[in-house]
Amino acid sequence: MNVTKGKWEIHDGFSTLYVFSGVYRIADIPTTGTLTDTERLANARLIAAAPDLLAACKMADACIVLLLQHCRENDCEFSHDFSAPKMLKEAIAKANKETK
């Protein structure tokens, strides 16, 4: 997956919130419509954090895989319903999915 490199930042325009990486515009969040200003800013923050969130998910997934492998090899008792690995893999796959 190729995403725009660099830090993604929010810029406040006249009638739109923008997410930029350097000179590249990543997303526009119009300030018109039914969303509140709080919702618009939250959406912009989530978009701006997307590359960092994806990297953190990949790292957490790798750590969980190693932890589960260690537990299998050392007969650790693991009694929790552990759906995090599946959720992480699904989120990573969704982020990596190619659009047509």
Contact indicator for 28, 48 with CB cutoff of 8 Å: no
Residues near 50 by beta carbon (within 8 Å), at least 6 away in sequence? 3, 8, 95
- Confidence category of residue 83, pLDDT binned at 50, 70, 90: confident
Contact indicator for 50, 96 with CB cutoff of 8 Å: no
Tell whether 71 is covered by a domain.
Answer: yes
Give the domain range for residue 69. 8-96
- Confidence category of residue 79, pLDDT binned at 50, 70, 90: low
pLDDT, tens only, 24-53? 999 999 988 898 989 999 999 999 999 999
Tell whether 55 is covered by a domain.
Answer: yes
- What domain count does the chain have? 1
Tell whether 81 is covered by a domain.
Answer: yes
Tell whether 17 is covered by a domain.
Answer: yes
Tell whether 2 is covered by a domain.
Answer: no
Tell whether 3 is covered by a domain.
Answer: no
Measured between alpha carbons, how far is 53 from 48 in angstroms, rounded to an integer? Answer: 10
| Tokens matching residue 2 | 């190729």
